[in-house]
Amino acid sequence: MKNQNFDQQKEYKYGFTTDIENVKAPKGLSEDTIKFISKVKKEPKWMLEWRLKAYERLKVSKEPNWQKPKFSKIDYQDLYYYSAPKSMKDKPKSLDEIDPKLIETYNKLGIPLNEQKKLSGVAVDAVFDSVSVATTYKEELTKKGIIFCPISEAIQKHPDLVKKYLGSVIPVTDHYFATLNSAVFTDGSFVYIPPNTKCPMELSTYFRINASETGQFERTLIIADKGSYVSYLEGCTAPMRDENQLHAANVELIALDDAEIKYSTVQNWYPGDSNGVGGIYNFVTKRGVCRGKNSKISWTQVETGSAITWKYPSCILQGDNSVGEFYSIAITNNHQKADTGTKMIHLGKNTRSKIISKGISAGKADNTYRGLVDIHRKATNSRNYTQCDSLLMGNKCGAHTVPYIKNKNSSSTIEHEATTSKINEDQLFYCNQRGLNQEEAVSLIVNGFCKDVLQQLPMEFAVEAQKLVGISLEGSVG
């Protein structure tokens, strides 16, 4: 374990580590590492070939460098690409067989794995470093024909579905980090909702990076078949370390005719200490495609963690009348850097998209909204509305807006507006006067600023997110 600063634990309450014996892949990125991962996961041959194809591509591609936040060089040979708790080597058959330490970890994080004790009605898939440790509520979901399992399990049990859809939204030839993920992804969730089914509960995945010198490369694939609906939540935390850890996930969503996917994220990876040491590099590729008519994909994200975030959840609106939505809150404090936004690509007729982005910047942080709205020639009667608001606290931080707007269709309309301002002194004064201290007042005002996005979150998450907004900004005013 590298030296940790325990004083900081107050600020980041998920900063603890769990002492668990790990099984790791040999250090470094090579064909052997990929073969190792594939072997451990007992993957069929086609999957290994797919991974190796990605690796070949990776060898000739370069890291992207157009984003605003620059990062220190990542030594890809100095990372472990696979790390799993030893007790998971032979998969436990029920929750009773899981290492109690793991259960304890998730209890500390507030994630209920124990179905009996659970009240919240959310099915959880918990991913610890490179493997999925537990999936709850499986039986109830199976009755409805819903598949919700770790993706490694799906590769073995539902190869047809995986083969058909994996990489169909984010091809192996995409940018560097997406390709890296395709080569070495370890686990993640797989969701399939059969036609005309409304998923009875929220599905949720909880990601946790525990081991040091590892990267987490999860892959999530969600398919909503005709006329179905699913709401999916994702949460993440990591221990405090003074090294930068890489998290490069790929998330693919596919919505067929009349289907709807709602994807919510509360990202709270370790952001580094107040001097900018350590923290997670969160380089994530999230993309959804509205393949069918009248389909809908809605992204909601609350980004409070990570040292650097690069994330652009996108929607390809292929089917006629399809709808894409993006609601985002990005909060950066201390030395955090966030470069996040969305892409709305309108291909089908009567497609609609809406973007609401709220960026809050404090301390010495940098916050960028970067987005693309592209209405293609054939996307008649399409519409986009974008609103990006930024809030600045202090004059050492930065807030930036970089929207790309392309309109090639004369019957389509694009509207974009953006503002940048600071917290209104009058509002602060009003709150102070009524007995709130400075921090409570700021938290209240910021929550109000973010309201449009917070109300898009499912209830359980909204409460957590609201608290998180307050905590992330502690110490930034006064």
Partner 1 sequence: MINKIIDRFEIKRLKTLTKSEETYRKNCLDIFNRLGLPSKRDEDWKFSDVNEIFSKNFNKFNFESVKSKNQNVEFIKDLEHNYILVSNGEVVSSDFKYEDKDKINLTQFKNEDFSKKNENNSLIYLNHALSEKGYSLNINKDYKFKKVLVIYNYFSSELNENFLNIRNKIKLSKNSELHIINFIIVSSSKKFFSNTYEETVLEESAVLKNIYLQDNVNDGYFHKFARYKLSKRSNYSSHIFPSGPKFNKFDLEYDLSGDESECKIIAATFLDQNDHQEIKTKVNHLAPNCKSYQKVKKVVSGESKGVYQGKIYVKDIAQKTDAYQLSKAILLSENSEFDSKPELEIYADDVKCSHGSSSGSIDEESIYYLMSRGLNKIESTKLLVEGFLSESIDTIKSTAIKKFLQTKLTSQIK
Residues at the interface with partner 1 (CB under 8 A): 66, 377, 390, 392-422
The residue among 19 and 425 lying less far from partner 1, judged by its C-beta, is 425
Cβ 439 to partner 1 shortest distance, Å = 18
Cβ 382 to partner 1 shortest distance, Å = 10
Cα-only R_g, the chain = 22
The residue among 176 and 229 lying less far from partner 1, judged by its C-beta, is 176
Cβ 64 to partner 1 shortest distance, Å = 13
Backbone angles phi, psi at 403, to 5 degrees: -95, 140
Tokens of 308: 């650097």
In one-letter notation, the amino acid at residue 428 is L
The residue among 240 and 393 lying less far from partner 1, judged by its C-beta, is 393
CB–CB of 14/238 below 8 Å? yes
The residue among 154 and 362 lying less far from partner 1, judged by its C-beta, is 362
Cβ 355 to partner 1 shortest distance, Å = 13
Cβ 391 to partner 1 shortest distance, Å = 9
Cβ 359 to partner 1 shortest distance, Å = 11
Cβ 403 to partner 1 shortest distance, Å = 6
Per-residue exposure over 4-13, b if at least 16 CB sit within 10 Å of its own CB, e if not: beeeeeebbe
Cβ 67 to partner 1 shortest distance, Å = 12
The residue among 394 and 448 lying less far from partner 1, judged by its C-beta, is 394
- H/E stretch holding 471: helix 459-472
CB–CB of 20/83 below 8 Å? no
CB–CB of 361/335 below 8 Å? no
CA 367/CA 394 separation, integer angstroms = 13
Q: Where are the beta strands (DSSP E) in 152-305?
A: 189-193, 202-208, 219-224, 229-237, 244-247, 250-255, 260-267, 279-290, 296-303
Cβ 379 to partner 1 shortest distance, Å = 12
The residue among 228 and 367 lying less far from partner 1, judged by its C-beta, is 367
The residue among 9 and 421 lying less far from partner 1, judged by its C-beta, is 421
- In sequence order, what are the residues at sequence separation of 6 or more whose Cβ sits closer than 8 angstroms to the Cβ of residue 116? none
CA proximity to 195, closest of 144, 239, 160, 155: 144
Report the Cα–Cα distance between both ends of the chain, in Å, rounded.
35
The residue among 160 and 425 lying less far from partner 1, judged by its C-beta, is 425
Cβ 399 to partner 1 shortest distance, Å = 5
- In sequence order, what are the residues at sequence separation of 6 or more whose Cβ sits closer than 8 angstroms to the Cβ of residue 7? none
Residue with tokens 């050492």: 396
CA proximity to 362, closest of 326, 329, 337, 327: 337
DSSP states of 359-422 as a string?
EEE-TT-EEEEEEEEEE-TT-TT-EEEEEEEEEE-SSS-EEEEEEEEEE--TT-EEEEEEEEEE
Decide: helix, strand or coil at residue 223: strand
CA 453/CA 307 separation, integer angstroms = 22
Cβ 366 to partner 1 shortest distance, Å = 9
The residue among 12 and 326 lying less far from partner 1, judged by its C-beta, is 326
Cβ 299 to partner 1 shortest distance, Å = 22
The residue among 76 and 176 lying less far from partner 1, judged by its C-beta, is 176
The residue among 158 and 400 lying less far from partner 1, judged by its C-beta, is 400
CA proximity to 193, closest of 108, 257, 128: 257
The residue among 109 and 317 lying less far from partner 1, judged by its C-beta, is 317
CA proximity to 265, closest of 201, 340, 337, 335: 340
